[in-house]
Structure 1
């Protein structure tokens, strides 16, 4: 069995704990982190627009790329340490939701943490990346709450509906 745990800043401990709890012994566990390709591109573009292309050694986009790589490796190491069993660490860069889907292509289970409004139950508890991943996952998904699950009373009240018109009488 291959289990992919999507490691994201802020919610990763819950994903690691879920992998430890739900992946049978002997499973291949993949800890996956995806860095957004847009941040370095923005820095590269801003630098090129302001100072031109003649000073590549000063391009802050390169530094942003290196920092992102270092941060991903550090986070994956923390996750592996918390898992406490053999695993594979994978760091990818690209469109986050698409990279997660690609990484889960041959997985038997994908573990995803809610990353939106976690103060109440409902669809708002999913951010746009996790919503896409859940909707397009090529394998079963274990969707977890990174903190205590909100109470049922957190579900918003339904909107008022107008009364249904009376059914027509047929003769």
Structure 2
């Protein structure tokens, strides 16, 4: 069985722990995805917020730092997993990169990353919602902490 784990900044430990619990013998690939337009975002911030001042465009440095940080996160995920795993860093539209990578997997493991104070659809960020809706394989969706109780579900609408 091939398990793909989406390693995202705030939620990856829960995903790795789920793999340890549920897939102890599976082949694992740890995937991180960066937005492909980081340099453009940094250039836009420089122009929009910092004015037209002269100086070096920070876009390339921001992208380099993001890659370094993401590789360190992948290394930490491998260490937590405690066994051999492939690591992949993709760049582009995050939700599409994760979905495309899932074509090679039997199971995709990812975590809720939205409003974690209550049960419901808002517990998924927009990228995660896209991946859950479009993944071409089975999906294991985990809570990155303790799930809220059933009392967090809003009451049903009044009957008419």
Instruction: Give the RMSD, CA atoms, in angstroms.
Output: 1.6
Is the contact between residue 44 and residue 62 of structure 1 (CA under 8 Å) also seen in structure 2? no
2:9 is paired with a residue of what secondary structure? coil
Q: 2:76 aligns with which of 72, 75, 78?
A: 78
Q: Which runs of 5+ in 1 are unaligned?
A: 163-171
User: How many residue pairs get matched?
Assistant: 157
Name 1:169's counterpart in structure 2.
Answer: none
Q: Computing the radius of gyration over CA atoms, which structure comes out larger, 1 or 2? A: 1
1:104 is paired with a residue of what secondary structure? helix
Report how far residue 43 of structure 1 moved: 1.6
Task: Render the CA deviation track for 1:46-92: whole Å, top value 9, x for unaligned.
Answer: 5578368xx7xx22000011001001110000000000011001111
Matches within 5 A, 1:9-48: 9-25=9-25, 27-45=26-44, 47=46
Matches within 5 A, 1:127-138: 127-138=125-136
Matches within 5 A, 1:2-151: 2-25=2-25, 27-45=26-44, 47=46, 50=52, 58-151=56-149
Is the contact between residue 110 and residue 139 of structure 1 (CA under 8 Å) also seen in structure 2? yes
Q: Which runs of 5+ in 2 are unaligned?
A: none
Name 1:165's counterpart in structure 2.
Answer: none
After superposing the two structures, state which structure 1 stretch, 37-46 or 117-126, moved more: 37-46
- Relative to the length of structure 1, the TM-score reads 0.86
Work out the CA distance in 2 between the residues paired with 1:51 and 1:161.
Answer: 60
Work out the CA distance in 2 between the residues paired with 1:136 and 1:155.
Answer: 25
